[in-house]
């Protein structure tokens, strides 16, 4: 899986010229969407199958600051998945490999009416694909 690349934009920085902390959460979402696209399961396909995967928790640990025009590479993997809940992990680094942030997001699964479902029952093909990208324990 190729890392997602994000170029820090000027509007993402604060008065001190440092990337505002809220943007890292957005980048995690961008990287997750990219991850699912690469895995062959873009959001449109998930919705066509009749389900969605909302965020139920997010964590972010800031390690080093980033600034305007930094290229940030975001590695994404499935940390855990049991058919009911899925956790993605993210590692963000600069081009030289310096890790700037790590995080994770937890997701449940709902049908298009918003009712909880088991993804492993609703779409086993999706689950099989996600298990291929599950981080080794």
> CA torsion, points 91, 30, 40, 86, in degrees to nearest 10?
60
The catalytically annotated residue of 14, 37, 96, 120 is: 14
Active site includes 70? no
Q: Return the active site residues.
A: 14
């Amino acid at each position: 899986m190729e890392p997602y690349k994000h170029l820090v934009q000027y509007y993402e920085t604060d008065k001190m010229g440092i990337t505002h902390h809220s943007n890292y959460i957005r980048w995690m979402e961008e990287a997750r969407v990219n991850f699912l696209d690469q895995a062959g399961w873009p959001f449109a396909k998930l919705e066509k199958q009749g389900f969605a995967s909302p965020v139920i928790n997010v964590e972010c640990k800031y390690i080093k600051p980033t600034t305007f025009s930094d290229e940030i590479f975001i590695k994404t993997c499935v940390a855990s998945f049991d058919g009911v809940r899925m956790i993605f992990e993210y590692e963000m680094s600069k081009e030289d490999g310096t890790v700037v942030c790590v995080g994770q997001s937890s997701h449940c699964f709902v049908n298009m009416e918003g009712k909880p479902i088991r993804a492993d029952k609703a779409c086993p093909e999706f689950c099989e694909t996600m298990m291929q990208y599950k981080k080794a324990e």
